Structure 1
Amino acid sequence: MCRIAGLVNPLSTGTEKYKVKAMCDALRHGGPDDEGIYASNDGGVIFGHRRLSIIDLSANGHQPMSDTHDRAVITFNGEIYNYIDLKQELLTAGATFKTNSDTEVILQAYLKWNTSAFGKLRGMFAFALHDVISGDVYLVRDTAGIKPLYYHIEDKQLAFASEVKAFKAGDIAHANNHNWPVYLLAYGHLPEPYTTLQNVYSLPNGHYLHWQQSGAYSIKGYTTDKSYNRVNDKEEAKNGINATFRSAIKRQLIADAPIGVFLSGGVDSSLITLLAAKEVEQLKTVSIFFNEKQYDERAYQQAVLDKTKGDNFTYLVKQEEFEQNFAPIVKAMDMPTTDGINSWFISKYAREAGLKTVLSGIGGDELFGGYPSFDRIKYLSYLRKIPAGIMQLFNLAGSPGLKRLSYLSLEGDNADYLALRGLFSLNEISRLLNADQKEIEDILAGEGNSENLPYDKLKAAKLETGLYMQNQLLRDTDMMSMQHGLEVRVPFLDEDFAAYVESIDPHVRFADGNKQLLINSFNKLLPAAVWQRPKMGFTFPLQKWMAANKDICNADNYNSSFANKKIADFKAGKLHWARAFALYHTQKHV
């Protein structure tokens, strides 16, 4: 797990390494253990790397790394969980290795199988690879989009980095994307491929960018080489889920550095803890609790700990600590978001507990229907039949839920998502940003092409996975964990496990209520207290804490009377904290 950056076909000569070094310096928090710079003989390719040592902790794991014959060079962020199996296959085929790292396996896999090697990798990864023989460069991102990778192309120069801030640090891109406040007020995050910088984009998950020496490039998708037959039987599905998830946990525990689990007390983290405890004799877990009793999950955490052996590191988070760390937390965000505060704290504590790697339960809700949107989405099929002009009238509604329905005046899957999860309505955004509503509509209209899927739970899963999880949960977890030099792994997004779940017929996958198939697959393992509890999620008392925060509630931070009215509503308990936090980001920075 690391941070990467680089330049290909640099515009200027003599300063390329300095630019890449500056980019890497800005990313040091994500790779505190080592750094390296590679420059091709002709100076046309500069790779930078900041290392967080997880596998092969020796100096042999130094990056950027070349193969034994210097035919290819890589700078790699992530982990390849099946690298031992791939290495054995490559050794049998005649490949030679000089390290015990998973990084070198990627190089040899590419040299053996070319771009088809990408689909053989199981893990979370973002890497740049220079084919020294052809001169081509590849940027590659994992199929789930767990690891971030951003790029900028101008005048036949390609720049890339793990975080958006690196482009400014390297004097690559400075111009703001003036649309980002619109996206944030609508979504609570910036949807891919957009960032806060103009012409800096996120490489789509499951894709690679192929760059040729001429400056010509293409972006292509790839898929894993694993597939399953359609599963229509509930018992078969339960047995398959049980087996494939156990396998995912087992291979994601591979590490040469201390590893543990985030234990919140919900179904997903509890299940991961219990399965990991079967593989690790003395499992380390990290949990947090609050003085605010309605957020206290210790009883559920203890029900899991009673069935495991190991060390549990428990931390009390108080409002005072939130206040003390509020400014550093906001500064740590690579891009403005309404999420990530919980990840910042739990990652801080995990690192203080001596861990370098932890397993997280992200993905369980998206795969098995754990959100209210899975039940609400069916109503959109009826609302979509109402003329767009009438849907606009919902802008005038009183409740936020009804206001969101105004998004159904727009086309596309993203409009469906915003109708279910959007923060502010079209009219509210135009007033908050002092912009014409038609301008706001034009920015948001058509984002996310419609697949014309039925309004069922399978569509809800696609929306939650492709938008909320991809753009918010994964991005913010990566950013906040790496801020503390911590790697977070997500077994629910294991390629083979996710492929198996997606092979299950939706009528079986979402039968008997949200997440019930997952629970039933492990009903002999999960404590009843955990799966019978009301769903809460990994939540902080932010409604109370933010209402007392002087920065968020400071009228001088807002640019209009309408914005101040919203903040007044927030202080009076009439506005959700996520909406106030989004407003704070946009008004403070615009």
Structure 2
Amino acid sequence: MCGIVGIYNLRKKDISDAEFDVLVDSLKHRGPDGRGIYKDKTVPFRLGHRRLSILDLSLNAKQPMCYSNQRYWISFNGEIYNFIEIRKELESLGYKFKSESDTEVILASFLHWGKECQYKFNGMWVFGIWDALEKKLFLSRDRFGVKPLFYYYDDEQFIFASETKTFWYVKNLNLEYNFENVTKGLQYPGLLESTDQTLLKHVYRVKPGHYLTLSQDGKLECSRWWNTLDHLETPPENEQDKIQKFYELFENACLIRMRSDVPLASALSGGMDSSSIVATMYQIRNQKKQFQRIPKDWNATFTALLPKPYNEYYYAKEMVNHFNTNSFFQEINSVQMLNEMETILFHNEELFDVPIGGWLIYQNMKKEGYSISIDGHGGDELLGGYHHQIEEVMNVNQMNSLKQIRHLFSMRKVIKSLYGKSLPDHHRASQFLVKILKKNRYSNAIINYLLKFKKRNIQNRPEQSWLKINVSQDDLRENYLNHNRFQSFDPLTKILYRDFHFGSLPWILRNFDYCSMAHGVEIRSPFLDHRIVTLMFSMPDKIKAHKGYTKYILRKAMQNLMPETVRLRKDKIGLANPMLELVKKDLKSYILDNISSKFFYESPIWEGKKIKEYVEQGYKDNNYSSVIDSWKYINASNIMRIYTSKKFIS
């Protein structure tokens, strides 16, 4: 895992060595173990790299790396987990290797298969390959956008980097925030992450599953190479075969993500996803087989201890005791949050909720000597772990057929298990319908009732009038709704597909990449293995939410492999900030000071006066949920203040 940067001055004088050094070292946190620079001899192109040493710790794996008599040069961030298998295939074709790294395998693969090599890779990546003969640049981003990649292009110069903060270090670039995109990010959280848009004017992101080519004449082309809907498969017929195939893929996904020349750790919450990973890694290490490149130190777990009712210590401790892991528990409090706030905002650089739990976990990992964390990201979006996903299926406004009405009964059992006794009001009206459905008394009267019933009465919140710019999310939506495979999905799978590719997951991946890489820690996610993804989107909803459980197939696959108290727990907590408790007291001064600042109050994006009055009234009325509404605006204000001031440059 590393930081990459490059610049191609097409119609502009080349920058100096010292200026490029600054750009490379702006990503030092992503690669604290070394640095490298390549400069083309005939055109003003430069390639830079900051190294986090994971595979082949020797200088043989240093980047930028060359191949084929120095024709191809690469700067690479990520991991190709199946590099051992690809290398063996290439060696059988006559290719030679000087290092034991996955980087060299990418170069040889590109030489042999061209852009089609992307389909060979099982991993997470962004890389830039420079063809020194044709003076052509190739940039690639992995299927699901696990690793970030941004670029700036103004017809005179092309700059790419792992993070947008690098562009602020470029002299005379005159960066400005795109107020319309900031508004979209505030109104539709997570929307921008799956698009090519960023918060900055003229700065774009390479979309997940896309690649770019830039030729010497300045022609820039962007192409899509991966669409999950085009790679679905025919799953096994019966349930047990489905579960068996899933487990085989999951075990292998964990296995190849354990390949490393440095020690491994896991962020263990006590939830189903992270616990399944720890349990499966334990099974792998207890096998008598000899696996290549798996370190002896592999069973460290790190857990964030949040205040009640967000604390999952009991379940995490169950896992620690059962598998005898080398455990580290990290208490989270508001003092740490306030002390780290400016640093976290600087590193995350985009709109988000400050992930203090994740930040402190990866900070502690690095202090304890770990540079890899194998985590459970993607499980909720892939297998249906969130409350809102089941709620949306239960949205009775969608129940316009007999088949869909039957879903109401099965999905209600799942949502009730998630909430326990505190079933939300908008589900109570369906209880008498369930009684009728049990008796199989389906009638037009029921259908008519369902069509008329409102899921919930949503009052217009003041927040809707805070923004000064009117925006729509329609112009940024991916055109997947009309795809024939998507149309064949059941309601739950449609929701999961949206959340996985265009909803919560891209936003989560961005946040956790930034807060882990700020400390030089690489996150690996078995649930994001493309073989598992294509399998699960080929399966019906009842294998995901069934018999009162979310993640049904994962729970069945983990039977007899982990403590039952964890495998069968039904509540969902997650690594969220306990905002209600924080805003009541500990963050009160911070919030009031920020909404009173000139930068916030006079914002061209939101109505600072309205927000200030709303928050102050909330504190007077002890209505703390209304205070929380202002939190994302405060974070946005501070991020823009930090970067426009450019104090970090000096």
Partner of 1:505: 540
User: For 1:385-406, what per-residue CA distance to the aligned partner results, in whole angstroms no more than 9, with x for missing partners?
Assistant: 9xxxxxxxxxxxxxxx99xxxx
Check whether the contact 2:75–2:127 (CA below 8 A) recurs between aligned residues: yes
How far apart, CA to CA, are the structure 2 residues paired with 1:424 and 1:233? 45
How far apart, CA to CA, are the structure 1 residues paired with 2:156 and 2:544? 47
User: For 1:399-445, what per-residue CA distance to the aligned partner results, in whole angstroms no more than 9, with x for missing partners?
Assistant: xx99xxxxxxxxxxxxxxxxx9xx9979734x323x2xxx413x434
Amino acid at match of 1:183: K
Return the offset for 1:322. Answer: 2.1
Partner of 1:544: 581
Distance 1:254 1:53, change over 3 A: same
Please show how residues 114-513 of structure 1 align to structure 2 within 5 Å.
114-171=114-171, 172=173, 174-189=175-190, 191-192=192-193, 193-223=196-226, 228-280=233-285, 283-290=299-306, 292-378=307-393, 382=397, 428-429=463-464, 431-433=465-467, 435=468, 439-441=469-471, 443-449=472-478, 451-452=481-482, 453=487, 456-512=491-547, 513=549
Partner of 2:432: none
How far apart, CA to CA, are the structure 1 residues paired with 2:394 and 2:385? 18
Return the offset for 1:253. Answer: 0.5
Structure 1 unaligned blocks of 5 or more: 386-400, 403-419
Secondary structure of the 1:210 match is: strand
How far apart, CA to CA, are the structure 2 residues paired with 1:122 and 1:5? 23
Return the offset for 1:243. Answer: 0.7
Partner of 2:571: 534
User: For 1:431-486, what per-residue CA distance to the aligned partner results, in whole angstroms no more than 9, with x for missing partners?
Assistant: 323x2xxx413x43433045154781112112211233443100010001010111
User: For 1:78-98, what per-residue CA distance to the aligned partner results, in whole angstroms no more than 9, with x for missing partners?
Assistant: 011111111111111111111
Return the offset for 1:195. Answer: 1.4
Amino acid at match of 2:596: D
Check whether the contact 2:190–2:504 (CA below 8 A) recurs between aligned residues: no
Partner of 2:596: 556
Distance 1:584 1:546, change over 3 A: same
Partner of 2:35: 35
Secondary structure of the 1:302 match is: helix
How far apart, CA to CA, are the structure 2 residues paired with 1:562 and 1:574? 16
- Stretch deviating more after TM superposition (52-61 or 326-335): 326-335
Secondary structure of the 2:108 match is: helix
User: For 1:58-89, what per-residue CA distance to the aligned partner results, in whole angstroms no more than 9, with x for missing partners?
Assistant: 11111110015212110000011111111111
Structure 2 unaligned blocks of 5 or more: 286-295, 401-424, 427-454, 602-607, 642-650
How far apart, CA to CA, are the structure 2 residues paired with 1:226 and 1:316? 43
Return the offset for 1:569. Answer: 5.8
How far apart, CA to CA, are the structure 1 residues paired with 2:7 and 2:461? 39
Higher radius of gyration, 1 or 2: 2
How far apart, CA to CA, are the structure 2 residues paired with 1:70 and 1:62? 14
Distance 1:428 1:320, change over 3 A: closer
How far apart, CA to CA, are the structure 1 residues paired with 2:504 and 2:256? 23
How far apart, CA to CA, are the structure 2 residues paired with 1:534 and 1:576? 26
TM-score, normalization by structure 1 = 0.87
Check whether the contact 2:150–2:163 (CA below 8 A) recurs between aligned residues: yes
Check whether the contact 1:231–1:505 (CA below 8 A) recurs between aligned residues: no
Q: How many residues align?
A: 550
TM-score, normalization by structure 2 = 0.79
Partner of 2:644: none
Distance 1:247 1:217, change over 3 A: same
How far apart, CA to CA, are the structure 2 residues paired with 1:109 and 1:511? 42
Check whether the contact 1:289–1:296 (CA below 8 A) recurs between aligned residues: yes
Partner of 2:554: 518
Return the offset for 1:269. Answer: 0.6
Return the offset for 1:333. Answer: 1.6
| Match among 607, 615, 619 for residue 567 of structure 1 | 615
Identity among equivalent positions (%) equals: 27
Partner of 1:394: none
Distance 1:149 1:205, change over 3 A: same
How far apart, CA to CA, are the structure 2 residues paired with 1:231 and 1:214? 51
Distance 1:203 1:299, change over 3 A: same
How far apart, CA to CA, are the structure 2 residues paired with 1:37 and 1:333? 25
Partner of 2:413: none
Distance 1:141 1:384, change over 3 A: farther
How far apart, CA to CA, are the structure 2 residues paired with 1:567 and 1:424? 18
Return the offset for 1:587. Answer: 4.3
Amino acid at match of 1:432: W
How far apart, CA to CA, are the structure 2 residues paired with 1:94 and 1:483? 40
User: For 1:186-210, what per-residue CA distance to the aligned partner results, in whole angstroms no more than 9, with x for missing partners?
Assistant: 1334613221210211111111111
How far apart, CA to CA, are the structure 2 residues paired with 1:503 and 1:356? 34
